[in-house]
Amino acid sequence: MTLKQTALHAEHQALNARLVDFAGWDMPIQYTGPLDEHHAVRQSAGMFDVAHMSAVDLSGPRTREFLRKLVANDVAKLTVAGRALYTCMLRPDGGVIDDLIIYFLNEGWFRLVVNAGTTEKDLVWITEQAATFDVAVKHRSDLGILAVQGPAARHTVAKYLPAGLAEKSLALIAFQAAYEGDLFVGRTGYTGEDGFELILPHVDLVTLWKQLVADGVKPCGLGARDTLRLEAGMNLYGQDMDESKHPLESGLGWTLDFSDAARDFIGRAALEPLRGGKSPQKFVGLVLEGRGVLRAHMPVRFTNGAKGETTSGGFAPTMKQSIAFARVDSAADGAVEVEIRGQWVAARIVKPPFVRNGKVLIPTP
């Protein structure tokens, strides 16, 4: 199978990045090393080619009405142009088709950002549902996405934006976007640090990448992106949730908006009976207290007989500890252990996020 390439592929090769197959794309997993890249984002600024992900524009007078049906969070919350909302798009049985960000640009135009591995099925699903509402669905394959993250990220990027857009971008609050023509800047991210996610034409993507490299922004690969998002308590689609799991057992109950009883979003009927702690499983954070490294799919057990399994795990460079997410029985209580290479190792339950804005949030026991 021939792997797809983003517009930055030649830049990754020029920097001697290690490339791997990720969701059918030839993507960099590291450049100088995941630890260096992780710390650059926590301490200064790093950037990620995320052009394998997709922007999808929805347009038409009934777009808001359509989105109130399509996704589990309520776009009625989006009342100011440029504001964004994180949500899940569900199957009728509550399984997660994808998690995505929705930007409200005007009443006839909303923009979605969807995951790389789910783009094709997302487009089919969205287009099928949109037909009833006369909403046009446009995959913006002409645009790429660049994430620049870290305490120095926004002010560094602003130097290379048109003056008017730079001023607007520096005034953005979290989960808000500004745009000028096809150049779109959102104050969002997947690292637990401040920064921008930019959506722009491919030729401009390459130009900006080169400018930022010359300015000392560190290129970062998927390895650092994974440790950063894990520390930040952010789920990974296909690992922490998928079509076989619903938000209430994936730590995403906060993305479900049941406040409007008349809003019959897809998946609501299946999830209503599970509200109020009635889901058979729950999602927790773990910190390893013994030696070893937590990985996905490790068995978890509790002193009261409850069980579970890790979904994501790894060494957290900022904490210098091993951490994980786990899906466990809702009745889980008492001391917890994780099986690592045949040995049961003590851990403790914590509430993610583990790290935000460079600060460790988990207290020392």
Note whether 269 and 286 are same-domain residues: no
Q: Give the helix/strand (H/E) hosting 256.
A: none
How are beta strands 46-49 and 218-220 bridged, if at all? parallel
Below-50 pLDDT ranges, the chain? none
Which candidate, 117, 115, 122, places its Cα nearest to that of 70? 122
End of a domain among 242, 276, 310? 276
Q: Which residues contact 3 (CB under 8 A, 6 or more apart)?
A: 21, 24, 25, 26
Residue 55 belongs to a domain? yes
Q: Give the helix/strand (H/E) hosting 176.
A: none
CB of 326 within 8 A of CB of 283? yes
Q: What is the pLDDT of residue 233?
A: 98
Distance of CA 162 to the CA centre of its chain: 28
CB of 326 within 8 A of CB of 312? no
Residue 334 belongs to a domain? yes
Q: What is the pLDDT of residue 364?
A: 80
Note whether 162 and 30 are same-domain residues: yes
Note whether 266 and 287 are same-domain residues: no
End of a domain among 276, 306, 321? 276
Note whether 216 and 342 are same-domain residues: no
Residue 74 belongs to a domain? yes
Q: What is the pLDDT of residue 346?
A: 98
Residue 365 belongs to a domain? no
Assign 8 to helix, strand or coil: coil
Exposed/middle/buried for 35, CB within 10 Å: 0-12, 13-18, 19+? middle
Residue 250 belongs to a domain? yes
Note whether 299 and 340 are same-domain residues: yes
Query: The domain spanning residue 26 has which CATH number?
Result: 3.30.1360.120
For 84, the domain range is: 1-276
pTM equals 0.97
Which candidate, 317, 360, 358, 361, places its Cα nearest to that of 42? 358
Q: What is the pLDDT of residue 237?
A: 98
CB of 354 within 8 A of CB of 232? yes
Residue 133 belongs to a domain? yes
Distances (CA, A) of 365 to 57, 316, 324, 347: 47, 17, 17, 11
Amino acid, res. 13: Q
Note whether 198 and 294 are same-domain residues: no
Report the greatest alpha carbon distance in the chain: 61
Q: What is the pLDDT of residue 129?
A: 98
CB of 62 within 8 A of CB of 237? no
Distance of CA 230 to the CA centre of its chain: 10
For the chain, helix (H) and strand (E) counts, in that order, are 9, 21
Note whether 22 and 142 are same-domain residues: yes
Read off the pLDDT of residues 45-85 as tens digits, 9 standing for 90 and up: 999 999 999 999 999 999 999 999 999 999 999 999 999 99
End of a domain among 222, 246, 276? 276
Note whether 321 and 185 are same-domain residues: no
Query: The domain spanning residue 294 has which CATH number?
Result: 2.40.30.110
Note whether 128 and 196 are same-domain residues: yes
Q: Please give the tally of structural domains in the chain.
A: 2
How much helix, strand and coil, in percent to the nearest 5, is found in the chain? 25, 35, 40
Note whether 285 and 269 are same-domain residues: no
Note whether 331 and 262 are same-domain residues: no
Note whether 162 and 233 are same-domain residues: yes
**Residue with the two structure tokens 């299946």:** 270
Read off the pLDDT of residues 248-305 as tens digits, 9 standing for 90 and up: 999 999 999 999 999 999 999 999 999 999 999 999 999 999 899 999 999 999 999 9
Q: What is the pLDDT of residue 337?
A: 98
